[in-house]
Amino acid sequence: MAIDRTKLLERLFEITRGLSASVDMETYLQSILSAAAELTDSESASLLEYNEISQEFSFKFVPWFHRDAVSSAKIPLSGSVAGWVFLNVKPLAVDDVENDDRHYSKIDELVGFKTKSILGVPLILHGRPVGVFEAFNKQDNYTEEDILVLETLASLASTALQNDLLEKNIMSSQEEARELDKLKNEFIAITSHELRTPLGLILGHATFLRELVGNDYQEQVDAIIRNATRLKEIIESLTSVDNYESGGSLVRSHRVSVTRIIEDVSASFHEMAMSKGIALKTEFPDGRELWVDIEGGKIAIVLSNLLKNALTFTNEGGQVVIRGEQKPDYITVTVQDSGLGIPAKDLPRIFDRFYQVESHLTRRHGGMGLGLSVAKVMIEMHGGRIWAESKEGEGSAFTFLLPVNKKHEEPPKPFSE
């Protein structure tokens, strides 16, 4: 019995549309099996999955009334219609299975089903066969149109399986990422805590020894204090990020002049700029203090990290400018340098914790990749935003903005993001 072409197209369109519907995989594939039986005028249909290890097929999806009977049934690769379709990767119609030795007759005895005719098409996933889609017992002989219908439905089934596989992989990756992030945070918290006490003792005793030893050992003691202080800064940076992500860090805001912060931070890096032969300048509106409700110490850390980076990656004879500006509802601060610049591929990730633009094998500059992540954390704690613009070989500009009033907790994203 030939099916009306309009009905055929409508049914195929309905099944295709179901791909984007929020139904589970079992329900969707059962609808495909029902459509296969209906559109090819067959008694039943099934989806077989191939196992490369055992070289057998198992019934992955069958109509519910066959499910218990075939749950443990296996079909061999050799001596079966499914095996022929799988190995040749092309359709096969057998209208009289009793006179065709490619039919695996034992399956009928096992499941209590009398097979008279079979139409099988390969199920392709990622460009290779992974199973076989079959229809059984058409009242008349299977036609080319039946083959086309079953191939179309097999394609939809493989797409659904692929989507399901991708979704499971994504969920698995997300779960792994969450677990890794949890382990990383726990490691950072424990490590930071355990390092504080011995590091405090090293700094305390080294400072005491500096007052006792003569000039002959002054340089060695200073080196101990300098490097221990550096370790202390790293621990504080780790703790700052960890406290923010765990919700353990608070902002204690006061009315603060950003202009004063810029001046103080700039003065603290004046010697570093002079030693490298870099011109360090500040620019802000004359007579404007750029008042804002912030925790001044945290914003000073942000500006220090940005300025240290700018001076580190700017060569002798270059220039670094700190610019403060008053906007209607926000204050912006920009640190612009004429340094090495950041490759475009690295720009989206520079605020990630531990991210290094330079390879660990080729890098010439120190640091653990914490400065920018700390800056981002502290700006976001204030309801602000931070971003970077850069062109490799021409320098970089890092800008952060802070809301003037606390009600402005979500400033607009800059056009450069």
Q: Is residue 273 part of a domain?
A: yes
**Adjacent-strand bridge partners of 281:** 321
The CA-CA-CA angle for residues 269, 368, 209, to 5°, reads 65
Residues 237 and 259 in one domain: no
Any idea how long the chain is?
417
39, 332, 390 from 280: Cα distances, Å? 78, 18, 19
pLDDT at 323: 94
Helix axes 371-381, 296-312, angle to 10 degrees: 150
Q: Is residue 413 part of a domain?
A: no
pLDDT at 35: 85
**Adjacent-strand bridge partners of 399:** 334, 387
pLDDT at 407: 47
Q: Is residue 384 part of a domain?
A: yes
Which of residues 213, 245, 277 is at a domain's end? 245
The CA-CA-CA angle for residues 262, 265, 271, to 5°, reads 130
Token pair of 194, please?
């355990």
Per-residue pLDDT tens, the chain, 417 aa: give them: 455 666 666 666 666 666 555 567 778 888 888 888 888 888 888 888 888 888 899 888 776 556 666 667 788 898 899 999 999 999 999 999 888 888 888 877 777 778 899 999 998 888 888 899 999 989 889 989 889 888 888 888 888 877 777 777 788 888 887 887 777 767 766 777 677 778 888 888 888 888 787 777 788 888 888 888 877 776 776 666 666 555 556 678 889 999 999 999 999 999 999 999 999 999 988 777 899 999 888 899 899 989 999 999 999 999 999 999 998 889 999 999 999 899 888 888 888 876 766 544 334 545 556 778 888 988 988 899 999 999 888 899 999 999 987 543 444 454 443
Tally of CB atoms within 10 A around 220: 12
Alpha-carbon Rg for the chain in angstroms: 35
pLDDT at 261: 94
End-to-end CA distance of the chain: 61
Which of residues 216, 245, 274 is at a domain's end? 245
Residues 21 and 33 in one domain: yes
pLDDT (tens digit per residue) in 356-374? 665 443 345 455 567 788 8
Residues 229 and 259 in one domain: no
Residues 68 and 162 in one domain: yes
Residue 376 sits in a domain of what CATH number?
3.30.565.10
Residues 258 and 300 in one domain: yes
Q: Is residue 296 part of a domain?
A: yes
The residue segments making up the domain with residue 202 are 175-245
Q: How far apart are CA 413 and CA 187, in angstroms?
A: 33
Structural domain total, the chain: 3
Q: How far apart are CA 325 and CA 298, in angstroms?
A: 19
User: CA neighbours within 13 Å on the CB side: how many for 106?
Assistant: 6
pLDDT at 334: 96
Residue 15 sits in a domain of what CATH number?
3.30.450.40
Q: How far apart are CA 336 and CA 391, in angstroms?
A: 12
